[in-house]
Structure 1
Amino acid sequence: MKKLIGLLLSAMLIVSLAACGNNGTTPTANSGEDTSWDDIVAQGKIVMGVDDEFPPMGYRESNDEIVGFDIDFAKAVASELGVELEVMAIDWSSKEAQLMAGNVDVIWNGYSITDDRKEKVAFTRPYLANRMVIVSKEGYGVNTKEDLKNVKIGVQAMSSAIDAMAEDDIYEEIKGNLMEFSVNTDAMLDLDAGNVKAVVLDEVVADYYISKHPGNYVVLEDNFGAEEYGIGVRKEDKAFLEKLQAAIDTTIENGKAASVSETWFGTDKVLK
């Protein structure tokens, strides 16, 4: 009996903590009615979950403001929807849990569309293409994918870079060489220090990092394949997803998305 009472009290405490932590809209799966768009309108904002160390998609400037391509793109979309945007930095390794708990309304920050993630969240249509590239430095002896068998490899924990590698035939021979980091910038710093000899990461992130930190970096021709970015919402939030996709389509059609892309990338990379 004491054990049963203890379990019940623990469950009540977990529910209480989850309720206190909510910043986004409350999930509506149990109500039987999809009020997701009405909830967004009622709260007057979209709470956007981001990795704040993922330049140029989202990162903190020296004044602690979170900026980036995805931030500006989301602001344009929120404006079309007639609501405000709240940008919330989250632990990227628990991003889906943050979404399901109602702490954020969207996962939107270079969020790669994968089969595994499709089982957890609903995605908008892809808006940006990307590749998983291998970055090394001159003199490290890493020139092809095969060379990864003999070196330490830096990668962001719980990232689509790991998923992409796992789908490659070489993965079984290199998985023991992986060193996981909480953010890509830490992996690149360890590359500079020689603690890892290669880093696998998003091409858009690699290009931006190298442009801001000139050095003897080498981006290999070999890579771990192409992917696309999308915005993740709770599967039950179909009404919100429909409105969100319509607003995205509008920003693409009226040229606002292209303008944001040209600001951050120097060209229009947004998928049509």
Structure 2
Amino acid sequence: MKKIAAVTLSAVMVLGTFALTSCGSDKSSSSGDDAMSQLSNEGTLVVGLDDTFAPMGFRDENGDLVGFDIDLANAVGEKLGVDVEFQPIDWDAKDLELSSGNIDCIWNGMSVTPEREEAYSLSNKYLNNNIILMTLSDSDVDVTSADQLADLNIGTQVDSAALEMLEGNEAYDTFSENITTYDSYDTAILDLQAGRVDVIAIDQVLGEYKNNNMDGALKVCEYSLGEDAYAIGFRKDDTALRDAVNDAIKELIDDGTAEEISNEWFGTNIVIFEEV
């Protein structure tokens, strides 16, 4: 992937308009301007992520962090002239990690939901996705309507967009007691293979990636839970930082870099740039 050699004019203008703060300032209590100034001063953007969420951000066979979001975040860092530090977190504790200042943003295939729009200052939507149901390829199960879920055991990840879509489904009351949540989708898939759940509710980009690496052991059910899109979550006050990242992503889309990254990980361009 080509490297971006220079800090863009727009990033320089954004960074240059704010006075620098000390490295010891408290990110959790900073205003948006202060947070942007601190980023300029420290030269590091700390990204919180679930490091098991392939192909967005995960560990390869050597234990290195790789993925679409890893490549995109590093490219944004080059545009902004800052280093990017990736901080693995417990996904269920992401709100605390962000509010306490341990990370600057949540960037790891995070779906846009009404609750997250309320909780965070979200970037533009940058990637298309769907929430799907998957089962074993040799299973007789094939969900064609929500009504069938009442007779099935369902697995999904805790605090995920898939769980929120299940909870928001019109038939939720009929299958609510059948849902098991897991710390990671890897564990949910293991339970699917062991027969402890019949289907899993999962992000399409993750499910299809996992299936490709499982030699087609899974299949996608006909019924899906709905369309989805990913965004980056910042603290409510960190609008200047959010806007700078948005500007950098737009530049990466315009110069073709984002498309190159998408093609590398998905074989097609599913990058978008839409306001939340």
TM bucket (normalised to shorter chain) is 0.7 to 0.9
Normalized per residue, which structure has more strand? Answer: 2
Residues 178-197 of structure 1 correspond to what in structure 2 (within 5 A)? 178-197=179-198
Compared with structure 1, are the counterparts of its residues 248 and 25 closer, same or farther at alpha carbon in structure 2 (3 Å cutoff)?
Answer: farther
The 3-state SS of whatever aligns with 1:35 is helix
Compared with structure 1, are the counterparts of its residues 100 and 269 closer, same or farther at alpha carbon in structure 2 (3 Å cutoff)?
Answer: same
Residue identity in the other structure for 2:52: E
CA contact (8 A) 2:32 2:238 kept: no
Are positions 1:219 and 2:216 aligned together?
A: no
Residue identity in the other structure for 2:84: L
Deviations 1:110-142 (A, max 9, x none): 001111011111001100111110001233434
CA contact (8 A) 1:74 1:85 kept: yes
Unaligned runs of 5+ in 1: 1-21
Q: Give, in whole Å, the separation in 1 of the partners of 2:34 and 2:132.
A: 41
Q: Aligned pair count?
A: 249
2:149 is matched with 148
Residue identity in the other structure for 1:139: S
The 3-state SS of whatever aligns with 2:209 is helix
CA contact (8 A) 2:32 2:240 kept: no
- The Cα of 1:23 is off from its aligned counterpart by 10
CA contact (8 A) 1:148 1:198 kept: no
1:52 is matched with 51
Q: Give, in whole Å, the separation in 2 of the partners of 1:24 and 1:182.
A: 33
CA contact (8 A) 2:57 2:67 kept: yes
CA contact (8 A) 1:142 1:148 kept: no
- The Cα of 1:41 is off from its aligned counterpart by 1.0
Compared with structure 1, are the counterparts of its residues 186 and 110 closer, same or farther at alpha carbon in structure 2 (3 Å cutoff)?
Answer: same
Residue identity in the other structure for 2:43: G
CA contact (8 A) 1:142 1:198 kept: no
Residues 1-272 of structure 1 correspond to what in structure 2 (within 5 A)? 26-29=27-30, 34-137=33-136, 138-144=138-144, 145-272=146-273
% same residue = 34
Q: Give, in whole Å, the separation in 1 of the partners of 2:187 and 2:24.
A: 29
Q: Give, in whole Å, the separation in 2 of the partners of 1:181 and 1:210.
A: 19
Compared with structure 1, are the counterparts of its residues 35 and 24 closer, same or farther at alpha carbon in structure 2 (3 Å cutoff)?
Answer: closer
Q: Give, in whole Å, the separation in 2 of the partners of 1:112 and 1:268.
A: 18
The 3-state SS of whatever aligns with 2:63 is coil
CA contact (8 A) 1:136 1:198 kept: yes
Q: Give, in whole Å, the separation in 1 of the partners of 2:34 and 2:112.
A: 25
The 3-state SS of whatever aligns with 2:108 is coil
Q: Give, in whole Å, the separation in 2 of the partners of 1:155 and 1:206.
A: 11
Unaligned runs of 5+ in 2: 1-22
CA contact (8 A) 1:135 1:219 kept: yes
CA contact (8 A) 2:133 2:200 kept: yes
| 4+ residue runs over 6 A deviation | 22-25
